[in-house]
Structures are given as structure tokens and as C-alpha cells.
Amino acid sequence: MPHRSLPLHYSTPPELRGEAPGRRPVVIVGGGPVGLAAAIDCGLHGIPVLLLDEDDTVSTGSRAICWSKRTLEIFDRLGVAGRMVAKGITWKVGKLFHRDRLVYQFDLLPEAGHKMPAFINLQQYYVEEYLIERAAELPSLELRWKNRVVGLTQTPEGVTLEVETPDGRYKVEAGWVLACDGARSPVRKMMGLGFAGKVFEDRFLIADIRMKADRMKADFPTERWFWFDPPFHPGQSALLHRQADNVFRIDLQLGWCADPDEEKRPERVIPRLRAMLGEDARFDLEWVSVYTFQCRRLDRFRHGRVLFVGDSAHQVSPFGARGGNGGIQDADNLVWKLALVLRGTAPESLLDSYDEERIRGCEENIRNSTRSTDFIAPKGPGARMFRDAVLSLAADAPFARRLVNSGRLSVPCALDGCTLQTVDEAGWEAGGAVPGSVCPDAPIVERNGLPGWLLNELGHDFALLVFADSPADLPDRAALTRLQHHPVGLRELVIAPDAAGFGEDVAVLVDRDGLARHRYGGHPGSVHLVRPDQHLAARWPALDEAAVGAALDRAVGRNPSPAVAAA
């Protein structure tokens, strides 16, 4: 049976009952995964937030299914990753076939010591349900279903939205609006904004099928399988992913001349699937769609007090799982900055860094997605000859494998060189994660003596990681106290081989296996400044109060010190 989603209830908004809730600090338009993640993050920062969505159901069909390690780490900070990992299909191995020959396989997370897996496959409707249930736990967050935004006016001081409901129209005033309303974004259209980029002349069939359990494990392990020119679909490509509930996602390349309406008919779809799975395959067809894909984006993601997030800001082809994951990482980048601006501890110009940093991530996704698409669907005989030659060599020649591109899978964008990053690393020789990268996870023993994970201790606010072998390695306590009184606040976390001798007033995370030290290049006395989105902002061989203060100022958009500016 198809998935039956939880009910989302509409109720008459208070504005139409004669009440006046007043101006909202933040209004989010769109209740998909990106809008819900942004709303939950706002709620966790204590920001009163109103989310408006024109529908009263979660998504139809599995839609986005591949959730990357970085996105799961963000979901974990929001309080929902545990349910997603438990329900989803964990995988890390991908296999690539040319015709009926295995060309090579890869492992996306060969090393141990990470809380989150490389990827899970989980239908978007489950993701939305878990996010909605999490949102309901936060008192500062209000969800309104069947509330469609039909008008928008903006001034330097705020935004007024006109909203249509089954009971009539009303207006709501907002300090800031986050447009998370998808690829067809009504907000984007209301503002007269267009995408720039490329539309690819190809079509793909997506089919969700529920496979009978007797064949599931034996014939279809939990791996990503991609075929070039398979015997069951000659001249085209195919992709197979297993999802929760014995559901499988199958993508079949159709070519630009395919008729989308014709190809969605069961009498066209089922024979294609039987050719792939075998005539004796037993399955039920759950959802079918035919899509073309695009690699396009807005010129800017911030337009005054309206900020575009996720598919409303950018679109990529689905190869590499960069769409939904990129949108969640947009929200992760934006909300902590918005919280600081609303609290008055950072200038409004901090939000310009959302443009800078996430456009970099978007460009990286578009670049990789375009390259994948060009390899999967080569344009012209020369490109096809090159592609086929690479595939013929790849099984035996390692250099050719690097040229095969069935979708470079989503990885977090590094922010080195961006405005908020401190680039002066004089004296650093230990290697490890570099400023601008996402903080690597590692197993630790928590302060209560229980096993835990480093990333669970990071995020939401600024933190200073201090590596120490003994109390003698700790930084000057007076200098640290002054830094902790910085307007944005700063927590100290000490990472040590054991907690002996540090005292009750020092928060020690025990790095028993030494993985944290290895992954950060930490050594006794070294310090790392971590942003609220778990990105590394700066690092030093030893605490330098002035340098850390300047890096904090820089990380929240304040003027850096002359020394840092010169660097």
C-alpha cells in the first residue's frame, strides 16, 4: 500500500478571528524539508517564527531520498536524525556498471569513528513528517497549513505578506522572510526574479516500486547501482536505490524526444521495469514521474529582507544528491546569522555572507552536477566516444576511473577564503581540518562519563576547542574569561586523553582513541574557533587573546582588527 501521511490540520488564522498577533520577526514560506529545517533552527535559537504553506499534506512520492552525512549531522543538531537513520536505509558503497560489466565500486566512508553514516535513503514524506513532529515541540514555532502567500511588499524596515486561506485573506508583517517555496517559488515570481543557467535536453523516468521481500536482500543489497548502456535499457543509463519499506527508486534515461505523458502510463513503465528486474519480478508501482533537469540559480540569494533558501534559490540535476542536501545546508548557514542580527549582536550586513558562502556552495553543486550530466548524457559523437572509451578502460585502469562521472556525491562546501574566515595561520604545522571546513566528528567520552560524539557538543553558538594533555596546557584563564564576555559569547571545550586533574570547572571531553586530535591536528595548547554551524572559523598553535577576539569579530561581520585585515 502507498504511504499514508499524517494529517495536517488547517485552522482559521487569528488575523481572521479579529485578533492581532503583531509583527513577526521571521516568516518562512514553504513547508518542505528546507523550510521546516529553517523553522526548527529558528525555534532552537528562540526566534518566534511563523511558517506558511499552501498545502495540507506532505510530499507525494519519495522525491528527495538521498541524505548525506553532513545533512544528517545538521538534522542531528535539530533533533531529528535519530529517527531518520533508524527508518532509512544506510549505505556507503556504490557500484558502477558498463553494459553488463562491473567497472568499479567505491566506499564513501571507509574509516570508522563517525556518528552519522555516509548516506541514508529515506523518502521525503518521512523526512517531512519527522520535521513537522519536531517543530510541534517548539513553543516559539507556529505552522499554518493551507495558507498561500499571494502578495508581497517590502520596505527597508520589513515585509508585508498577503495570505489566502479557505476563510479569506489576511496580511502578516514580518521583519524577515525566508522563501523556501521550491523550484517554482511564487515568492520569486512575485518579486520578478529569474534564474540564470542551463536546461538540459534530456528526460528521465522516476519510478518508485514496492518490491516483494523474497528478492530484496538476495538480489538488491543496500548499495547505489548505476549503469551506462545496460542490456535492459540499451543506449541509455539507469540508477537503482533501495529505500525504506522495501521501496526501490529506479531512474531510467529516456532521451529528449520521449513524450512525458506517454512514458508515465503503466503500460509503458512496467515493461521497462520487468526488462530491468526480470520477468518474474513481483512489485507494485507506487509513484511515477518524468522530469527534465536544470542547473540554474538566482544572481543573489538575499534581496533586502527576503532571503531565498533551497530550490527557490537554485536548482541542480539530481545526480549526486545535491538538491535537497544543498538546501538543508543553506538553512544551516543562514539561521544562526539571522539570530545574531535579531539579537543585535551582529550587524545586518552579516546576512550578506549568506549570499557569499552559499553561492559558493551552489556554484560547486552546479559545476559538479553539470559535469555529471554531460558525462551521463554526452552531447555529440565526440563526447560519446570519449565517454565510452573511459568506461572501457575504467575496469582495469585506475586513471580512467577518476574520469567516470555518474554523479559526484554531495559533500559539504569548504568556506576557506570567504569574508568571515580568518586566514592567518602563522606557526600552524600540525595538519588536520583547515579553517572553512566542516568540523570532523569523533567519538568522545562526555563529561558524565558516557560515550558520545564531538559534534553533539558543537553548534548553535561559538565554541573554542582547546587540546590539552594536562591542566598545564590550558590557556590563561583571565584571557579566556575576557573572551567569553564577547557580545556573541564563547564556550570552552577541552579535549584531552583523560579527565584526571582538570577539576570540576573545566568541561573535558575525553578523546580516548585520539581521533579528535588526529582529525583536527590538535596538539597540547592549540585552540580551534568553531562557528554555530559547526564550521571551523580559525585555529592557532596557542591562545592569542587578541587574535581570537579579532577572529570572533570577523566571524560575525564586525570589522576585524588591523592585524587580521592585513593578513
**Following DSSP, what letter does each residue of 46-78 receive, concatenated?**
T--EEEEES-SS--SS--S-EEEHHHHHHHHHH
Whole-angstrom distance, CA of residue 289 vs CA of residue 251: 10
CA geometry: angle 316, 322, 325, nearest 5 deg: 130
pLDDT of residue 514: 95
- Give 195 or 201, the one with higher predicted confidence: 195
Beta-bridge mates of residue 493? 465
Nearest to 97, CA basis, from 200, 195, 236, 209: 236
| CA 381 to chain CA mean position, Å | 36
pLDDT band at 215 (very low <50, low <70, confident <90, very high): low
Looking at residue 565, its amino acid is A
Closest alpha carbon to 316 in 302, 333, 329:
329
Which has more pLDDT, 367 or 307?
Answer: 307
Q: To 5 degrees, how large is the angle CA 403–CA 118–CA 491? A: 120
Using the 8-state DSSP alphabet, how is residue 310 labeled?
Answer: G
Cα–Cα distance list, 121 to 133, 210, 308 (Å): 20, 15, 26
CA dihedral 166, 172, 176, 182 (to 10 degrees): 10
E-assigned strands of 276-432? Answer: 283-291, 294-297, 302-303, 306-308, 314-315
Kindly report, residue by residue over 235-293, the tens digit of the pLDDT: 999 999 999 999 999 999 998 889 999 999 999 999 999 999 998 888 999 999 998 88
pLDDT in tens, 43-87: 999 999 999 999 998 887 778 899 999 999 999 999 999 999 999
Report the interhelical angle of 33-44 vs 69-78 (nearest 10°).
Answer: 40
Tell me the residue type at 83.
Answer: R
- Interstrand relation of 294-297 and 314-315 (parallel, antiparallel or unpaired): antiparallel
The model's pTM is 0.94
**Cell numbers 535579531 correspond to what residue?**
342
Instruction: Report pLDDT for 212.
Output: 73
Report, as an integer, the average pLDDT of 159-184.
97
User: Count of CB atoms within 10 A of residue 255's CB?
Assistant: 12
Rounded-to-integer distance, Cα 165 and Cα 171, Å: 11
pLDDT digits (tens, 9 = 90+) for 428-446: 777 899 999 999 999 999 8
Q: How confident is the model at residue 197 (pLDDT cuts 50, 70, 90)?
A: confident
